[in-house]
Structure 1
């Protein structure tokens, strides 16, 4: 790291600047972001319209997603501490202003198999989600304050920036779902989790994996009227995070609600809105948590458009949705875009599900 020297504080740069500046600067992003730097297991917006509708026919389905996320966070923190410069006691009062910005471009692959035999009267499916992508993160900060010694008071100002980027595989998420259909009403329950095998280093600013195990479960509902083409969906889930062994930091329990509402203009074209609410309801903890009880929150909303079309003897579904984030607390906010392509078996003849085929 390079530190900008200024004013009468130059004589302290070697002994005071590197150690104290790095420590104080590190506090500001911690205060701005709960969930260990604002990175949660659950990616808000993963579920959307038609989430609880069973697959049209048993068999394999594959979903690919391109996800771009651009977020920023900033914060100020003031600290006072006593240090020793040589054998001279000194009091340091400093204010750190730091900002972090991250851009992520990630590709998700979701593979699921829907079983033919009903389970508790519903359609059971099992599969996994895998990810590969790039993360580019930058942190910039300025530290200003005074050093008071028996010889006088000396002002100082230091600036620093860190840039980090990584490309690699993310963690793996096994998934299991049950879905039921009853006319216009569709219900689902799911369980998933995080196997921390992705590119992660606790000493690196940018990562693809999260570095710890997690388990997530919840349920959802979709109202879908085939006659009018109207649809509304909501999926509520909760995440339990295990302690990160590299940092001894444990995120609190997270709650997330993904929703979507749409109108099919034709049997192929769909337009509507999507949104999410993410709220940490438990406290961050562990010996690596130096700020006490800490909770994050963010909301997002935006438009969506979907198109259904035949792909050989399969059915394709393309969806584009975007979110603008707001009402964030202790978590970065920004905007994100999802481009989803799903390939699944078409409905059997005669149909075994009330979900329409949506093909000509």
Structure 2
């Protein structure tokens, strides 16, 4: 999952895919083969009401199974991540396209709080008894996140560019099922999809869209399996010069399958969120390499069973520059 650049339903309102990961120029091949590096600062600030808060409580095992209750609660989270990805672009074409392999690692902080009340009845062998609970939970962590490898193929045909990718979540990050704040998701996941970019260097018009689907494996700590997720990331921009780019970005995230597993006590719990916002990009030389700096921000709305708020991405990509065309040799003249 590299942008030509961890709000997440599913279990407790958390998913593998980070909406907005792909953006403008997503399907455009690299200008030259070799190693490139992408670093990202990601900030996410979200909040949610009773349904996500209740799912969080159940996931943590804090609500008894024999409790029937109404929830009046709110969950708030602030995430700051530094993501670094190394990518190698192969010189030899694969299926006529440009192949690349990447590995992304993350380090950062997550501060999450849950506050509210539970009121209902507790089933006992002697009958039901009234139950009420008022509580707040604060949880913070600074640690490494999961590892994410990716393999991608990209093709170019004039102003049309195409790509396909496959990626996965390797659950190596900090995760505890009894902790509210985590930087890992605690289970394996695999994600695949494809994208398209229209880019006309003559006019500077650009539009990109990447559609993908996530299959989640069972979380062994909670026996909870999140349903299949769909995500659509898009970007539209105009290059004002050969270096400056401005435009819009957006995403749609929708869980298609139902959550399941013996640890699922909230039912289907399908999530959705939509985000949109501005972007600005700048391309500049760095020695004999090419640098690309992009800033984009999203405001979220139309969320269901998932926290919503806003997030910001600051991406720096350093890649090999396009090879300089050879200078024509001077013709030799004979007398």
Q: TM exceeds 0.5? A: yes
Q: Distance in 2 between matches of 1:200 and 1:38?
A: 15
1:221 aligns with 196
Residue 292 (structure 1) shift: 2.0
Q: Is the 8 A contact 2:9 2:15 kept in 1?
A: no
1:17 aligns with none
Q: Is the 8 A contact 1:34 1:284 kept in 2?
A: no
1:47 aligns with 22
Residue 146 (structure 1) shift: 7.6
Matched, 1:199 2:162: no
Q: Is the 8 A contact 1:280 1:295 kept in 2?
A: yes
1:163 to 138, 157, 162: 138
Secondary structure of the residue that 1:189 maps to in structure 2? Answer: strand
2:95 aligns with 120
| Equivalenced residues, count | 304
2:114 to 124, 139, 153: 139
1:102 aligns with 77
1:246 to 221, 226, 229: 221
**Given the two structures, how large is their TM-score scaled by the length of structure 2?**
0.86
Q: Distance in 1 between matches of 2:121 and 2:32?
A: 70
Q: Distance in 2 between matches of 1:96 and 1:260?
A: 38
Residue 350 (structure 1) shift: 2.6
Secondary structure of the residue that 2:21 maps to in structure 1? Answer: coil
Q: Is the 8 A contact 2:247 2:279 kept in 1?
A: yes
2:36 to 58, 61, 72: 61
Structure 2, unaligned runs of 5 or more = 1-7, 55-65, 327-335
Matches within 5 A, 1:1-360: 34-75=9-50, 94-144=69-119, 158-350=133-325
Structure 1, unaligned runs of 5 or more = 1-32, 79-90, 352-360
Structure showing greater Rg:
1
Q: Distance in 1 between matches of 2:121 and 2:209?
A: 53
1:25 aligns with none
Q: Distance in 2 between matches of 1:249 and 1:156?
A: 26
Q: Distance in 2 between matches of 1:209 and 1:345?
A: 32
Q: Is the 8 A contact 2:148 2:167 kept in 1?
A: yes
Q: Is the 8 A contact 1:134 1:165 kept in 2?
A: yes
Distance 1:187 1:147, change over 3 A: closer
Residue 155 (structure 1) shift: 7.7
Deviations 1:298-345 (A, max 9, x none): 000000000011111111000000000001111110000000000000
Residue 93 (structure 1) shift: 7.2
> RMSD over aligned Cα, in angstroms?
2.3
1:18 aligns with none
The structure where helix makes up a greater share of residues is 1
Moved more, 238-247 or 158-167: 158-167
Residue 121 (structure 1) shift: 0.8
